[in-house]
Amino acid sequence: MSKKAIIFIDANNWYHNLKYSLKPSSIDIKKLSSLVAGNFDLEILEIRWYASMPSRKDDELMYKRQRAFLGHLQKQGVKIITRKLQKLSTKELKRKRQELVESWDLCGVCKPIVDEAFLDIADNQKKEKGIDVWIAIDMVKEAIQKNVDCCVLVSGDADFVPAFNLIKEVGKDVLSVSVSRGYSNELRQKFPYFVLKKEELNNCLKEYGR
């Protein structure tokens, strides 16, 4: 029997790693999901696309292009989750992350792990999207609530290791998917993974991109 899964896509990580091989917008996300599902015998319940949104005031053209692209994904049935891109001080960043974590009302077992993983901030100033935290918490929640058998992450970011550890602890499967560039060794050494090679990506191109 196929395992029920949700695909969580870290759009920022996906874009920056893929752009050296192919134009990211040329990939059909539904085809990519079908490829992953076929290779791992998964029943995909939902595809979620997590992305930061540029400010309309800073770059209206980029904003409109992003909105158009997200609109196309929505028409395909992809669930879109966005957050505004902003630059914050360390103190403000930690406060906002704390508020985000608190808003999810995590259990006593999960909260300390999530706090340790996502509230340890060393940079004096950085761009905060909240996307990585959002994805991690969503994956953990779906696993704890037993809505899925497997959480599939499209990202090569090692920041998701703590979330993967927690998902495994509650008895659910995890899988990361990414191109080879920027794919964390730690993520691949500790958990099941799928490296997308050029020929596989070519099979996921949109029809006009062939």
Long-range contacts of 63-69 (CB under 8 A, 24+ apart): 69/25
Amino acid type, 194 = F
3-state secondary structure of 48: strand
Structure-derived torsion over alpha carbons of residues 198, 203, 205, 208, reported in degrees to the nearest 10: 120
The mean per-residue pLDDT over the stretch 88-102 comes to 67
Q: Specify the higher pLDDT residue, 57 or 156.
A: 156
Cβ atoms 172, 151 nearer than 8 A: yes
Q: Using CB atoms within 10 A of its CB, is residue 179 exposed (0-12), middle (13-18) or buried (19+)? A: buried
Kindly list the distances between the CA atom of residue 27 and the CA atoms of 38, 176, 202, 206, 207, in Å, as whole numbers in the listed order. 17, 18, 8, 6, 9
What domains are there in the chain, each with its CATH number?
Answer: 3-84+148-209 (3.40.50.1010)
What are the tens digits of pLDDT across the range 37-61? 999 999 999 999 999 876 666 667 7
Residue keyed to tokens 């539904």: 30
Residues near 131 by Cβ (< 8 Å), separated by ≥ 6? 10, 11, 12, 50, 51, 52, 83
What whole-number distance in Å separates Cα of residue 194 and Cα of residue 210? 23
* pLDDT band at residue 102 using 50, 70 and 90 as cut-offs: confident
* pLDDT band at residue 92 using 50, 70 and 90 as cut-offs: low
As a whole-number percent, the residues of the chain with pLDDT over 70 amount to 77
Q: What is the pLDDT of residue 69?
A: 87
The mean per-residue pLDDT over the stretch 116-140 comes to 68
What are the tens digits of pLDDT across the range 188-198? 999 999 999 99
Is pLDDT above 90 for 33?
yes
Token pair of 170 as six digits: 């509650």
pTM (predicted TM-score)? 0.79
